Amino acid sequence: MMSQLDHKVAVVTGSAQGIGKAIAELLARRCAHVVVADINIEKAVVTAKAIAASTGVRAVAVQTNVVDSASTQAMIDRTMEEFGRIDILVNNAGTTRDNLIMRMSEADWDLVLGINLKGAFNCSKAAVRPMMKQRYGRIINISSVSGLAGQAGQTNYSSSKAGLIGFTKALAKEVGSRGITVNAVAPGFVPTDLTNDLLAKVQDEAIKMTPLGRLGSVEDIAYAVAFLVSDEASFITGQVLSVDGGLAMQ
């Protein structure tokens, strides 16, 4: 059994549902207090209450727009007020606006890059200061197989997720001397509200392309995150862990 997170404090963005919710739930089951940060505060409150009730840890819902630096700073300020520290940041908030480049609007490019990439910058910038004072922190960025291999019709999404990989490696070099690790998890095809429309069209093909012969689950991604924030992974930084059933072998 992997060691418990022993009342560490974890902030997970985009965690009212989907992969982020699964991550927050698993970290809570491993004894971390969690901040459910999401732009949809109604869903975030429901998720936080359910996590607290089922695990006994403290769970706080905070409305957060990751594109807005004032909002992400307020998210970290609220975390510090509630718990006095932040140990774990999972940059999970993301969106898609798929289209062929000839049909993709500038607004859809800006929206996806803003949430997926700038959002991670805003949240990490706010979280790094208290982590550096503590001389401890774990930052996990949720990338994608699309950031490693590219995906037709996703130039905006693939660019944002590839950018997250470069961001992960650069930040890992900046903050390593302060006891902070920074890693990325790159999911393959995982059914969520975000991917349901895509998978409905290509699900059979996606399964054929995946050596393990199945789609991933939100729990598969959560377990990878839980490992990377654990003491067992304390000497791992700047890495990209693909959780994709072998889809994008490097």
Q: Which pLDDT does position 249 carry in this prediction?
A: 79
Whether residue 223 lies in the annotated active site: no
pTM across the whole model: 0.95
Q: Which pLDDT does position 197 carry in this prediction?
A: 64
Q: Which pLDDT does position 205 carry in this prediction?
A: 83
Q: Which pLDDT does position 204 carry in this prediction?
A: 81
Q: Which pLDDT does position 201 carry in this prediction?
A: 66
Q: Among 109, 136, 157, 167, which one carries the catalytic annotation?
A: 157
For the chain (250 residues), the mean pLDDT of every run of 10, in chain order, is: 82 97 98 98 98 97 98 98 98 96 98 98 98 98 95 95 98 98 95 67 81 94 98 97 88
Q: Which pLDDT does position 224 carry in this prediction?
A: 98
Q: How many other CB atoms sit within 10 Å of the CB of residue 100?
A: 10
